[in-house]
């Protein structure tokens, strides 16, 4: 027997010591939820750097290259990021690659699922929806040390943290919450400041946490050719208005 084939056989022998389980997270996905394959693995056989995911027509195919192991390792729970899908049927297929040229379908690793559409709010006029997901970190190119971090959920709720310098030069941060989309590219909401126990306190006292509304905020995302990664940030703290043209960091 060739060494490659022997190594493959040893890997599968180690991996068979504990039955693998495969589940989709979330179990009942809605349109554009981030999908994750959660599975139990032999920690000796499994190598995160040797996992490849391919998607085609709603089907995710996961290929896992096995490490050669003589003795099984502890069982671990591993998450593999798949991606997002619109409403409709989907499928997951998991394969183990051994020895570089042998592909085996994993038992229990093939299953179908369905992505449901999100409920439509029965109001008139219907609420505005954004035409993109603008999650990420936004900065200006000429002013270092401050920026805006945006998180946009699959339900299009926007939450953002603004980290800036106060009038005395000390670091300060605010949050954008309680807002709504005014158009496909414009969000408007409120700006809040939070105070609480210092990070060096031995015990965190939630009773000291206070959240105070300070003003308003808006973000207008640009959709002109060549400017798709830019936006105009406007906010008011007290009576002080601020407007900046910001750009999304592209890593």
DSSP code per residue over 8-61: HHHHHHHHTTS---EEEESSS-BTTPPEEEEEEEETTT--GGGEEEEEETTEEE
More confident residue, 103 or 91: 91
Residue (of 66, 63, 68) closest to 80 by Cα position: 63
Q: For the chain, what's the residue count?
A: 251
| 73: confidence class by pLDDT, cuts 50, 70, 90 | confident
Last residue of a domain, one of 115, 145, 163: 115
Judged against a pLDDT cut of 50, whether residue 80 lies above it is answered with yes
Last residue of a domain, one of 65, 85, 115: 115
pLDDT tens digits along 25-59: 999 999 999 999 999 988 888 888 889 999 999 99
pTM value is 0.76
Number of domains forming the structure of the chain: 2
Instruction: Tell me which of 10-14, 70-74, 196-200 is least confident.
Output: 10-14
CATH number of domain containing 220? 2.40.128
Residues 6+ apart with CB under 8 A from 167: none
**Residue numbers of the domain that contains 156:** 136-248
- What pLDDT score was predicted for residue 84? 93
- CA end-to-end distance (rounded Å), the chain: 46
Q: Is the bond preceding residue 27 a cis peptide, omega within 30 degrees?
A: no
Residue 90, helix vs strand vs coil: strand
More confident residue, 211 or 103: 211
- What pLDDT score was predicted for residue 99? 66
């Amino acid at each position: 027997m060739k060494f490659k084939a022997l190594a493959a056989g040893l890997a599968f022998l180690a991996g068979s010591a504990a039955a693998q389980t495969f589940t989709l997270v979330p179990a009942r996905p809605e349109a554009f939820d981030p999908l994750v394959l959660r599975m139990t693995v032999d920690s000796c056989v499994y190598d995160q750097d040797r996992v490849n995911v391919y998607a085609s027509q709603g089907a995710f195919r996961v290929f896992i290259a096995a490490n050669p192991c003589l003795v099984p390792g502890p069982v671990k729970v591993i998450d593999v990021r798949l991606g997002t899908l619109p409403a409709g049927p989907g499928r997951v297929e998991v394969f183990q690659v051994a020895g570089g040229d042998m592909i085996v379908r994993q038992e229990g690793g093939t299953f179908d699922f369905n992505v449901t559409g999100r409920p439509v709010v029965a109001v008139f006029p219907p609420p505005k929806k954004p035409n993109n997901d603008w999650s990420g970190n936004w900065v200006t190119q000429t002013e270092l040390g401050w920026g805006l971090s945006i998180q946009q959920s699959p339900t299009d709720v926007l939450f953002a943290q603004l980290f800036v310098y106060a009038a005395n030069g000390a670091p300060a941060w605010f949050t954008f919450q309680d807002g709504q989309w005014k158009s496909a590219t414009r969000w408007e909401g409120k700006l809040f400041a939070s105070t609480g126990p210092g990070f060096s306190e031995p015990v965190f006292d939630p009773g000291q946490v206070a959240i105070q509304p300070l003003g308003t905020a808006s973000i207008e995302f640009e959709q002109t050719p060549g400017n798709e990664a830019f936006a105009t940030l406007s906010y008011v703290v007290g009576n002080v208005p601020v407007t900046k043209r910001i750009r999304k960091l592209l890593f």
